[in-house]
Amino acid sequence: MDPIISMRGIVKHFGGVTALDHVDLDILPGEVHALVGDNGAGKSTLIKILSGVYTPDAGEIRVDGQLVKFSSPRQTRRLGIEVIYQDLALVEDFDAVSNLFLGKERRIMLGSQTLPILNQSLMYRQALQIFERVRIKIPNVRQRIFYMSGGQRQGVAIGRALNSDNPIRLLIMDEPTAALGVEETSKVLDLIRHLKTQGVTILMISHNLEDVFAVSDRITALKTGRWTATVRTAETTKEEVVSYIVGAKTQRPESVNF
């Protein structure tokens, strides 16, 4: 299977800090790929490069085998790469529908002319469709985000990422369960499994190895900016992944069939 995303030799410095030191990452179509590593390992930096927020100092990125230079999040979005950041970036004072259409509001049309009036009923209907398609249970989509639980917020953020004019190729989730309790975590993990059955490819950052082992197909570990391993979840153990995270053990890159 050819990877949809292929990163090779990615380097990123911040002043004197080497955040990424020749990191390789392949993402296969339809997989849930977990990116793990301790604080400061470079996980967020890597996904910010993949989403066009940062430009790498060296290295190559290919999408469907084509060399690309990402220059902005808008450009990566056009290629179907969507990111849900840890803070979710929802507007607390807005309801779920308004958050779903933030920056992509639907307006009333008069013939071929777009009027400066929001088409609330269309957005409402489309929002219900999106939530239903991904089986996100939001009891009242007109309720302000402020009053929603962590799991519901994550659901709205996922819905927003999927509410795209471009077919989604890759959904990147930074710590999707970090702020959640046990029950909400299991709902979000169910949601990730469901998205996978819908053909959505997912790259998920997580500190929680329980969650990583519950949903991922493969795991890539970073240690202070260096790649240490890419393994199949079914063929490894938590202990082994911990040893890759702390750098007690590393794979030889040439031994890995990305």
Ligand X SMILES: Nc1ncnc2c1ncn2[C@@H]1O[C@H](COP(=O)(O)OP(=O)(O)OP(=O)(O)O)[C@@H](O)[C@H]1O
Closer Cβ to ligand X, 43 or 160, answer by number? 43
- Residue 219 interacts with ligand X (CB under 6 A): yes or no: no
Please, what is the minimum distance in Å from the beta carbon of residue 175 to Mg ion?
7
DSSP string, 133-200: HTT---S-TTSBGGGS-HHHHHHHHHHHHH--SSPP-EEEEESTTTT--HHHHHHHHHHHHHHHHTT-
Closer Cβ to ligand X, 72 or 140, answer by number? 72
Instruction: Answer whether 228's CB lies under 8 Å from 249's CB.
Output: yes
- Residue 176 interacts with ligand X (CB under 6 A): yes or no: no
Instruction: Tell me which residues in 4-63 interact with ligand X (CB under 6 A).
Output: 14, 17, 19, 37, 39-45
Q: Which of 6, 44, 201, 233 binds Mg ion (CB under 5 A)?
A: 44
Instruction: Answer whether 26's CB lies under 8 Å from 6's CB.
Output: yes
Please, what is the minimum distance in Å from the beta carbon of residue 50 to Mg ion?
13
From its phi and psi, is residue 134 left (phi > 0), alpha (psi between -120 and 50) or beta? alpha
Closer Cβ to ligand X, 44 or 152, answer by number? 44
Closer Cβ to ligand X, 17 or 117, answer by number? 17
Contact residues for ligand X (CB under 6 A)?
14, 17, 19, 37, 39-45
